[in-house]
Amino acid sequence: QPRSRGLGDVYKRQVYDESRVEKPMFRKGWLNRSNGGTRENRGVDPFVAVPWDEALDMVGAEIDRVRTEHGNAAIFGGSYGWSSAGRFHHAKGQLQRFLNTVGGFTDQVHTYSIAAGYAILPHILGTARAAMTEATSWDSIVENTELMVAFGGIPLKNAQVAAGGPGDHVTGPYLKAAREAGVDFVNISPLRDDMGDHLGAEWIAIRPNTDVAMMLGLAHTLETEGLANHEFLKTHCVGYETFRSYLLGEADGCVRDADWAAPICEISADTIRELARRMAGSRTLVNTNWSLQRGDHGEQPFWMTVTLAAMLGGIGLPGQGFGFGYGSMGNIGNPRQTAPSPTLVTGTNPCDSWIPVARISDMLLNPGKPYEFDGETRTYPDIRLVYWCGGNPFHHHQDLNRLVRAWRQPETVIVNEPWWTATAKFSDIVLPSTTTLERKDIGASSRDRFIMAMDKTIEPVGDALDDFDIFRGLSIRTGTHEAFTEGREPEEWLRHIYDRARQSAAEKDITMPSYEEFWETGHIEIPRPAKPTVMFETFRADPTSNPLPSPSGKIEIFSEVVDGFGYDDCPGHPVWREPIEWLGAPAAQTYPLHMISNQPRTRLHGQLDNGRVSRDDKIDGREPIWIHPDDAAERKLTDGDIVRVFNDRGALLAGVRITPEVRPGVVQLATGAWYDPENPARKNSLDKHGNPNVLTIDKGTSQLGQGPIAHSALVEIGRFDGELPNVPPHKPPTIVSREV
């Protein structure tokens, strides 16, 4: 069962929190923009309440103005975020459906969670499904695996959640069953906490961002000690000989063996060699957490994971091979038949304009500038209007001080939002939207076995409206009402998306009850499959009859396509490239601590940060930062001290928590504390609350993937001895009357 720590109770209380947005709000400077109100005052100006009809009139007119004067590509509607568990009241889907009806918008591709992985895996395997929907199921692991080597661990805190809402929490029970069945676990991570003590895992406390170097050392041992499965490499892979030449240093004289890897990883060569031998002598599954590809050159850990598993030769065999994200989300490895879930169809975007998900600031600061992405040279559009719905870029994005500058470039920023997040406070127009408890919906998550009826529990707080009603109102004003609503009310939409899923399920011989029966029962349970899922099982059995959708039909250890792009930061086979920041870099002399900004235990990303569980975990109102006792002693810090954490990009305040759960030289500061600058009008203002993205680097993983590199960040910390500023991140901004 989930280790929820009372988060469900928090959500019930959160709907009435003082941070709720209760009326449509407009930044006073935006209303007065013809009289000197400037974009530079976003995040500074007070807000003014405006009645709904007038608010929708102004928003509809602004959308029409921008698309008429600048074209639809000037509207950015990426809206990346988790939003609600509901499949109809899915905020991003509602926004994009509306924008598609008015001629389109500039979109985002991939996700912050796994952008580099999504970019590289199609070149290796022909598809990125191995990172989400095709994982070998946990029951196969329990029955067959002898050794599970987890780069980045299997953190149970992450396994509580899944996009769309999990109905079945399987990771914890299956891990327990695997341990009882005799599976051995190895946790390769800077954080011991990334794998629970109950698994008896061996902890290899690797230097952050050096997993590829360790994997190369493992691969060298397999190759030179006759432990690599050359038959599998010959029949199911292409390009191994090219990679082997790099591994052995035949061209450059650099042999990537365990002795080479040891000083990079700060793991002994003997440990690396012994682990390689154990892996070759066992039925081994290699798991790489999604977090590893959120570092500089993040494509390489995924490519090297596949290569290492191919050398072991277990791909396609029960309980062996590789996986991505066991423990990154709760539905990875869940035994489930392939069955459709109810989904809102957003339609086709008539505007062929998009950016990689994590390049928001680059786009806003550099309109018209060319950039590389996955073999294409693209150009950033000139964005005049941002419409955000169901997410919080001031949580997800890197280098928030740079984002603040970028966020002040467009002419208008609109957000639908239930709470006064930093994104809302830095917007021009905030339209209050309902929460999950205030509307009726259907909950479903990919690979979860349950589809859930979500009844409306309470009436909307204040003047909040469902996103559907907000966009229905806007569609009337933009002349697209029929296209957006298709003549359906919300209840009719719920029946429509359910019946579509039911029909698709019937085509797969899966029976779903009628819509009425579903609501009366409250949920549907999809049957478990007849036998465990084994990723690439048919490909393993017959690669000729069951080829992969890659260019060669096989696993591409060397990719001619990627090689042809000519990217020095992502060549044609997996390589070790030094991150822009890591503990082996010269910058570590100034900033000697590597900051891990992982997922929090007390909330979901930034959601629920205004709830009791998250607030109770803070230290004097600041997010806790974990630090090893040796590093704390060197800085004369004690538990509970408030510290300034800083680098060249910014500074924040956090509360000290001393623990041996992190390796020396590493600090851990979870994501999700709502950004709260001491003085929003000042450039690079101190964040009072502890949002680590004040300190992370806004750079792409490579020209191929352009993913975020939040886990490549060096910092220093010191006790904060000044007068502590107040921390009001969950309070509304100043609200004034329109006449003031």
Enzyme catalytic residues: 80, 82
Please tell me the distance from the alpha carbon of residue 159 to that of residue 328, in angstroms, as a whole number. Answer: 6
Tokens coding 734 = 């100043």
Amino acid residing at 33: R
In angstroms, the CA 600 to CA 139 distance is 28
Tokens of 307: 């290569």
Q: Taking a C-beta distance cutoff of 8 angstroms, is the pair 47, 432 a contact?
A: no
- Could you tell me if 399 and 682 are in contact, meaning their C-beta atoms sit under 8 angstroms apart? no
Measured distance CA(690)–CA(704) in Å, rounded: 32
Q: Is 228 helix (H, G, I), strand (E, B) or coil?
A: coil
Least Cα distance to 644 among 726, 695, 694, 718 occurs for 718
Q: 365: burial class by Cβ within 10 Å (0-12, 13-18, 19+)?
A: middle
Amino acid at site 81: G
Side chain identity at 560, as an amino acid letter?
E
Q: Which two tokens stand for residue 713?
A: 């960040």
The Cα–Cα gap between 288 and 299 comes to 12
362 contacts 374 by C-beta, under 8 angstroms: no
Contact 515, 495 (CB under 8 A): yes
Q: Quick check: helix, strand or coil at residue 624?
A: strand
Q: Which two tokens stand for residue 332?
A: 């990875």
88 φ/ψ angles, rounded to the nearest 5 degrees:
-90, -50
- Sign for the CA dihedral angle at 224, 229, 234, 237 comes to negative
Residues composing the chain: 740
Contact 255, 249 (CB under 8 A): yes
Query: CA dist 80 to 76, 95, 113, 393, 434, Å?
Result: 11, 11, 11, 8, 18
Q: How many CB atoms lie within 10 A of CB 724?
A: 13
